[in-house]
Chain A
Amino acid sequence: MSRSKLLIINGPGLSDLSVENEIAYDGLSLSSIEQKCIETSERFDLDVDFRQNDNVSELLSALIIDINKFDAFIINPAGSSKSSSIDYEAFSKALNKITNQSKPVVEVRIENIFKQDDTKPLNASDSGVGLISGLGDQGYILAIESINQKIVSNR
């Protein structure tokens, strides 16, 4: 059986998780998150493509093109006032395209966005889209475990 393919995309602000950034997290770096995601995916025999782009329209147009190439998706839209804010409509379109193909997708937020006034979760037409908010880098690990379980039980 060929390995399932997981695409993880990270939006603006996540390239720099240092304290100088508005999005600062204790001891976290994007490369340490990527490393953990690769290790966890390997444990489940998943191929993973881990991406980050400060340019949301580039990130999303690449995602739309690649939806057919991947079996599951993790999306951290991030966003900070330093870069562009979240384009909810564009993310919704991408999410709906994924769920129309019945592929698992989870929105992961490192911090609990519900403790901030200006951030809300992504919108989509399918209530099966996962949401993990506030578990730090472990949110990605939880998302991969959940996705793996869904892939395995759909076989």
Chain B
Amino acid sequence: MNIYVINGPNINLLGTREPEIYGRDTLESIATTCIEKASKAGHKVDFMQSNYEGEIVEWIQDAIIQKVDVIIINAAAYTHTSIAIHDALKSYSGYKVELHISNPHLRETFRHISFISSAVNAVVAGLGPDGYGHVIDLLPDLPIKVN
């Protein structure tokens, strides 16, 4: 399986930004965990982060062209604002999971709307930084059509 893990704005600050909400793991350590877990299971992970909405849209378009099997996306704050990311995800026909470290529905009201949730197969939130690795572990048991 080819897997894109796409992260949105401010996730590069993980480990230092509000650790009581997001934990002390850095993005680098999460990326290492994902890549190691995937390669043990014979999968390939491309782990990405951008603070720019358009770059995220282009990565999703790239996933369409490259026939990537799975997108795991933590669009962070763009979750609540980006119709462009919603549209790009709609165009991607592979398996897609929206992931959040904390549970946005239990935070400020402006985080309760997600433009991503209705465009994905599944939503996973509030499992902390370990959520990424848990989702990668689960992929072989999900109904994913592998290209």
Contacts and interface: CB of A to CB of B under 8 A. Distances in A.
Given A114-B114, A127-B21, A131-B103, A138 B126 contact: no
Interface stretch (A45-53, A71-79, A117-125): A117-125
Contact of A132 (B104, B118, B124, B141): B124
B127 A146 contact: yes
A123 B104 CA distance: 11
B124 A131 contact: yes
B105 A114 contact: no
A125 B106 CA distance: 6
B123 A114 contact: yes
Interface stretch (B40-48, B55-63, B129-137): B129-137
Contacts of B122: 112, 132-135, 139
A126 B106 CA distance: 7
Contacts of A135: 121-122, 124, 138, 142
Interface in A5-53: none
Interface SS majority for chain B: mixed
B26 interface: no
B6 interface: no
A128 B128 CA distance: 8
A17 B16 CA distance: 45
Nearest to A112: B122
26 contacts: A112-B120, A112-B121, A112-B122, A112-B123, A114-B123, A115-B118, A120-B105, A121-B103, A123-B106, A125-B106, A126-B106, A127-B21, A127-B107, A127-B126, A128-B103, A128-B126, A128-B128, A129-B106, A130-B126, A131-B123, A132-B127, A134-B120, A134-B122, A139-B122, A146-B127, A149-B134
